[in-house]
Structure 1
């Protein structure tokens, strides 16, 4: 996005984040080829929180100008993705692997036209971090993403319609099995009792 672009959808996401991170400049990346010519995201930002990084995507909702046939109630796919990996006390630079992971999830949505919703699960069958194929990705036993509404950002209104900030939470294959017997929400509620923001710590199941 350049200074001359009008992106009211982007601005609405930034406004929601500003309520939590006022005065903080996030680490932002863009993707090549850009979203207009690929299934990639337009971009992704990572904000430093006390004990984790808060990643937020741009591009699954309509950032610029909706088309004449777009649903006015929902912007684009109706959601953006968030992710909260744990942050070491000495970590001053947002790790790179979540940027890649979130873009892969977005490409899955855009390529296969998959509408993600709270309660859905994405079983990668391998470490969610991309280890060992991604250079800075830590080893982990977390192999599944469970989706829920971001506990801070929730659902926002934009000039193009509503956008759910949908948080990806890393869980184990065993936790997925329990979800199948009960529900995704029930297991995440149990995890949230001791981890309210549902921070994903790869070391939890390394």
Structure 2
């Protein structure tokens, strides 16, 4: 630890917790050459990687930088910075000497997302990576879940509270299950096959296990979906207007990529008397339970009421395919599903849905 770090009460508090867990082990430490505040590319001040052996050999990564490591700067005395640090447990070859660079880059990418957007992670959250979490790898893991680190409870530091959130690699169908049910439920159902929530690039989907898939279906049916908010990057609203042959209907547009998951979430929300909020770059739509179907377009959001029958009809028609949906109970509302282009970091189209 250098001289600057000696004056870092937040950093020292994290180190003490890790010393308790890995007594005497010197971690691999990866810092930044140019601080993010001075124009450096990496927002996290440091990442430590520890060698763990149970339940199977793995790297245990811990970030430094989401919380306040040095002097207190935020106005909330109870919370240090964003209030958390990220961890991750990546399966390790027993003879592996250095952790893979992609895992460090992924954690820094999470830092860029939080620092630029101001959106923070909480236990139970999930994130669609829109591709392999390790670029170029032959892996089914294309999403991330966030849960409490099983061995690192939250700590109180001189700068406020810090929780440790473990980031877990998930498959696409596991992501859909988390959205249609909840993150903790899916991970608990698959815990026998995902000990300590390890990230293993080579593993298949948990839903390939019949018992896990059955437990998830039962959980969805009983509890419904905990997803009350969904960001939809292709979300639009066009008010109807009078044309030559009569008035054209109001039009709600959705991207094909998210049409299917909206259908699954609706089945777990409306029958449970819960609303679902869809938020796009310029449009907000609330799908809410109602005694009779209808909608109202306000200045800030569009509210669409659905009874259970209409919600099921809509869910059946929301498929990841370009097209138009008009329901008998909502004849003057057109729902248009538009093609989704999945792009890489350079803006190149990798694949098209719809």
The normalised TM-score by structure 2 is 0.54
What's the CA shift for 1:36?
Answer: 3.0
> Paired residue for 2:115?
110
Shift of 1:189: 1.2
Structure 2 gap segments, 5+ residues each: 206-354
Question: What are the residue-to-residue correspondences of 1:16-31 with 2, within 5 Å?
Answer: 16-31=17-32
Q: Work out whether residues 33 and 40 of structure 1, in 8 Å CA contact, stay in contact via their aligned partners in 2.
A: no
Mapped to 2, the partners of 1:139 and 1:46 lie a distance apart of 24
1:143 aligns with 2:106: no
Aligned counterpart, 2:166: 167
Q: Could you give the per-residue CA deviations for residues 157-176 of structure 1, whole angstroms, max 9, x where no partner exists?
A: 11111101011000001001
C-alpha RMSD of matched pairs (Å): 1.6
- The residue aligned with 1:33 is 34
- Equivalent position of 1:135 in the other structure: none
Structure 1: gaps of 5 or more residues: 133-137
Deviations 1:66-116 (A, max 9, x none): 12x521111000000000010012212222211110000011000000111
C-alpha offsets along residues 34-76 of structure 1, whole Å, 9 cap, x if unaligned?
A: 1332561001010011110000000000000012x52111100
CA distance in 2, matches of 1:87, 1:157: 31
Match of residue 50 from structure 2: 47
- Structure in which a larger fraction of residues adopt strand: 2
Structure index of larger Rg? 2
Q: Which residue of 2 aligns with 1:125?
A: 130
Q: CA deviation at 1:140?
A: 1.2
**Equivalence for 1:3:** 3
Answer with 56-65 or 154-163: which moved more: 154-163
Counterpart Cα distance in 1 of 2:79 and 2:31:
24
Secondary structure class of the residue paired with 2:133: coil
Q: Distance in 2 between matches of 1:35 and 1:158?
A: 23
Report if the CA contact (8 A) 1:149-1:167 is conserved.
yes
Q: What is the TM-score with the length of structure 1 in the denominator?
A: 0.91
Larger RCO of the pair (alpha carbons < 8 Å, separation 6+): 1
Q: Aligned with 1:117: secondary structure?
A: coil
CA distance change for structure 1 residues 95 and 161 in 2, over 3 Å: closer, same or farther?
same
* Pair 1:179-2:185 in alignment: no
* In 1, Cα distance between equivalents of 2:94 and 2:63: 24
Tell me the SS of whatever aligns to 1:64: coil
The answer to whether the Cα contact below 8 Å between 1:55 and 1:84 also exists between their aligned partners in 2 is yes
